[in-house]
Amino acid sequence: MTAQVSFDFTGTEALITGGTSGIGYATAVLFRDAGAQVAITGTKPAASDYDVDLSGMAYHQLRMTEHDSVDALAQNFARLDVLVNNAGIAGPTAAVEDIAPDDWSRTLAVNITGQFLCARKAVPLLKEAGGGCIINMSSAAGRLGYPLRTPYAASKWAVVGFTESLAMELGPHNIRVNTILPGLVQGERITRVLAARAQAQGLEYEEMERQYLDRVSLRRMVSPADVAAMVSFLCSPAGRNISGQSLGVCGNIEVLR
């Protein structure tokens, strides 16, 4: 069953980073189809470089780790109501002693510093609009330990602390800040993650996937649309009193290992 939502976002200006695939793309399409003016970011030079339908969306190439790139992006907005800090990377799968410092630094730079850089430029626009909503994408790895994925887990735990602090700071300005903790999200990315982990542990891919699903209470993956539905709920009038929360959309992952 696919998540269904029917919120009206007519007149809403939304920026969704990493909006060309997966959760980001599902969220962008949902907001676009609900009447919002949607801007998305990606790493490629142009929207035509992607094999998905980006019609009706403003596309911007963005280097998440470079503040001058984020600053340039902000110049395109006269108003902003919603920021979805979705862009992120999986980082390496390896024992801590085998992780290159550059890989550690890049994972944190994209996954948490990038969110800070975007929020830094979005907040003045949200304040000027009289309020709004920030959604920071974390992970089930932002509430559970995750051996062999220490850079990723560290970055996603940091997102939770960043979110809770921002919610307190921005609440008086009518800006709500929440974080979503997805689990096993169907798509190419989780396939790559499970394949890398299977290789690291000397297992077949099918066995690795089975072990992961056995640790999910609902015994299934979630879809990008499931996560997008939660984003839309939090940004809608129905979520007007929800802030500072970390909300799992994961089927209840019990443990990561």
- Residue 7: count other Cβ atoms within 10 Å of its Cβ: 18
H or E stretch at 164: helix 150-170
CA distance 248 to 215: 15
Give the residue from 28, 27, 40, 35 showing the smallest Cα distance to 76.
40
Known active-site residue 59: no
251 contacts 210 by C-beta, under 8 angstroms: no
The confidence score (pLDDT) of residue 221 equals: 93
User: Is residue 200 situated within a structural domain?
Assistant: no
Q: Tell me, what's the pLDDT at 229? A: 97
Mean pLDDT per 10-residue interval, the chain, length 257 residues: 75 97 97 98 95 96 94 96 97 96 98 98 98 98 95 98 98 98 90 88 92 94 96 97 98 93
Please give the pLDDT value at position 247: 98
Q: Which among 25, 59, 152, 212 is annotated as catalytic?
A: 152
Contact 199, 188 (CB under 8 A): no
Identify the sign of the CA torsion 14, 50, 113, 239: positive
Residue type at 94 in one-letter notation: A
Assigned domain for 61 exists: yes
Q: What counts of helices (H) and strands (E) characterise the chain?
A: 8, 7
Residues near 214 by Cβ (< 8 Å), separated by ≥ 6?
none
Structural domain of 64: 13-183+224-249
Which pLDDT does position 1 carry in this prediction? 55
Neighbour order of strands in the sheet with 13-16? 57-61, 37-42, 13-16, 82-85, 132-137, 175-182, 246-249
Cβ atoms of residues 233 and 7 within 8 Å = yes
Q: What is the pLDDT of residue 2?
A: 55
Q: What's the distance, CA 85 to chain centroid?
A: 5
What CATH number does the domain containing 53 carry?
A: 3.40.50.720
Q: Is residue 4 part of a domain?
A: no
Side chain identity, residue 105: S
Q: How many domains does the chain have?
A: 1
| pLDDT score at 92 | 95
For residue 191, is it within any domain? no
Is the pTM here over 0.75, yes or no? yes
Phi, psi of 56, deg, nearest 5:
80, 5
CA 97 to the chain's CA centroid = 28
Task: Classify residue 254: in a domain, yes or no.
Answer: no
Domain presence at residue 122 = yes
